[in-house]
């Protein structure tokens, strides 16, 4: 039998463990911009669509997504070319590693078995000049 040494199961859960409400830090009608590198990727989530972009497809591909507000952030789920797409946006300072910008959210994109990390911000956020 394996026993954990770090106490309660809530020890590794982000946020206030007493708060059982859904994450409300991003309004439902807000557009969210996501950015990632190595490999480069990005996109915008707006009105139930995640427009996924890459250097080879700068116009992007629209993916119908369902929004879920969990306790520690948001997720958007859909399908692209028969593969599950999951985009998680969680609060926390994030650096893209290429500029001096600090974004207010972390982004994790999973397409099938491929996982990518990046940053996110509200699309209308003024992040300053890099």
Q: Determine the length of the chain.
A: 130
Specify if 129 maps to a domain.
no
Specify if 61 maps to a domain.
yes
In CATH, what number is assigned to the domain containing residue 30? 2.40.128
For the chain, the domain total comes to: 1
Asked if pLDDT for residue 1 goes beyond 50, the answer is no
Q: Contact 90/14 with Cβ under 8 angstroms?
A: yes
Average pLDDT, the chain: 86
CA dihedral 99, 65, 72, 27 (to 10 degrees): 80
Specify if 82 maps to a domain.
yes
Which pLDDT value is given to residue 39? 86
Specify if 9 maps to a domain.
no
Cβ neighbours of residue 2 closer than 8 Å, sequence gap 6 or more: none
The runs of H, that is alpha helices, within the chain are none
Reduced to 3 states (helix: H, G, I; strand: E, B; else coil), residue 95 is: strand
Each residue's pLDDT tens digit, 77-99 = 999 999 999 999 999 999 977 77
Among 21, 22, 27, 34, smallest CA distance to 88 is for: 34
Q: Write phi, then psi, for 11 (nearest 5 degrees).
A: -60, -30
Specify if 95 maps to a domain.
yes
Specify if 2 maps to a domain.
no
Query: Which residue, chain included where needed, has tokens 């770090």?
Result: 6
Specify if 11 maps to a domain.
no
pTM, whole model, 2 decimals?
Answer: 0.82
In terms of Cβ atoms closer than 10 Å to its own Cβ (0-12, 13-18, 19+), residue 30 is middle
Each residue's pLDDT tens digit, 29-57 = 999 999 998 889 999 999 999 999 999 99
Which range of residues forms the domain containing residue 49? 23-122
In this prediction, residue 18 has a pLDDT band, given cuts at 50, 70 and 90, of low
Specify if 55 maps to a domain.
yes
In this prediction, residue 4 has a pLDDT band, given cuts at 50, 70 and 90, of very low
Write the CA distances from 40 to 5, 56, 125, 129, integer angstroms: 39, 10, 21, 20
């Amino acid at each position: 039998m394996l026993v954990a040494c770090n106490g309660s199961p809530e020890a590794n859960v982000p946020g206030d463990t007493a708060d059982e409400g859904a994450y409300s830090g991003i309004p439902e009608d807000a557009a969210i911009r996501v950015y990632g590198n190595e490999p480069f990727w990005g996109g915008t989530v707006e009105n139930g669509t995640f427009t996924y972009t890459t250097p080879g497809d700068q116009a992007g591909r629209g993916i119908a997504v369902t929004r879920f507000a969990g306790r520690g952030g948001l997720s958007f789920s859909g399908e692209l070319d028969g593969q599950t797409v999951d985009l998680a946006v969680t609060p926390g300072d994030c650096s893209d590693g290429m500029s001096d910008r600090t974004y207010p959210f972390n982004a994790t994109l999973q397409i099938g078995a491929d996982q990518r990390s990046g940053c996110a911000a509200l699309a209308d956020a003024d992040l300053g000049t890099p």
